[in-house]
Chains A and B, each alone.
Chain A
Amino acid sequence: EIVLTQSPATLSLSPGERATLSCRASQSVRSSLAWYQQKPGQAPRLLIYDASNRATGIPARFSGSGSGTDFTLTISSLEPEDFAVYYCQQRSNLFTFGPGTKVNIK
């Protein structure tokens, strides 16, 4: 099973700041990685797929990069609605999710 680790576990930032979230895979997943956002009481929402493609309707302030084992989700300037938990997910070998990064308001 491919294990995904995310760092940091929690990120405390202010609106307008840049957020950089990391996801590392236990073995190469090529570009088969996605990012989801989840707010309390809601289902996850797909943000980024195939490492760097924004899903339909996702604002341009969200961007993804990386390949192989190291990936990054960047939120260029945090909006109030961006404070949430972010999960990475791979589909290279079945499907697994990372443990999540919580982005808190500082």
Chain B
Amino acid sequence: QVQLVQSGAEVKKPGASVKVSCKASGYNFIAYYIQWVRQAPGQGLEWMGWINPNSGGTDYAQKFQGRVTMTRDTSISTAYMELNRLRSDDTAVYYCARPYCDSSTCYLGWLDPWGQGTLITVSS
């Protein structure tokens, strides 16, 4: 079955960087974009961007441009999201997700399945 498994929780100091991984299984990794969404504690969902695993092309939400880098390693079917210059308000659960596919079509932007989430805590 299609599955996305993310790396474990991390604690970082302000100003540091963090790199979260998302390992895909059960499907052809390069055929579907991976999108990243975050959720601060007790808050809603915030789209961060996506990567095309085939080409490596990316698109980032304006809020994160200049601070986020999304990459992939096709040899191990894994996508990465790196966030730099961390601040306390970057404390959140970070999710990767794949486009939802019904019996005939895949829909970029409709997300399912999701990874289990990775809690990143930024604290001095």
Q: What is A's interface to B at a CB cutoff of 8 Å?
A: 1, 32, 34, 36, 43-46, 49-50, 53, 55-56, 87, 89, 91, 94-100
Contacts and interface: CB of A to CB of B under 8 A. Distances in A.
B110 A49 contact: yes
A97 B47 CA distance: 8
B100 interface: yes
A50 B116 CA distance: 25
B6 to A, nearest CB: 10
Given A55-B100, A95-B109, A43 B47 contact: no
Given A56-B102, A94-B61, A46 B111 contact: yes
A44 B96 CA distance: 11
B27 interface: no
A87 B45 contact: yes
Chain B interface residue number, banded: 20 to 34
Contacts of B44: 87, 97-100
A44 B110 contact: no
Nearest to B46: A97
A96 B46 CA distance: 7
Nearest to B60: A94
Contact of B108 (A46, A91, A97): A91
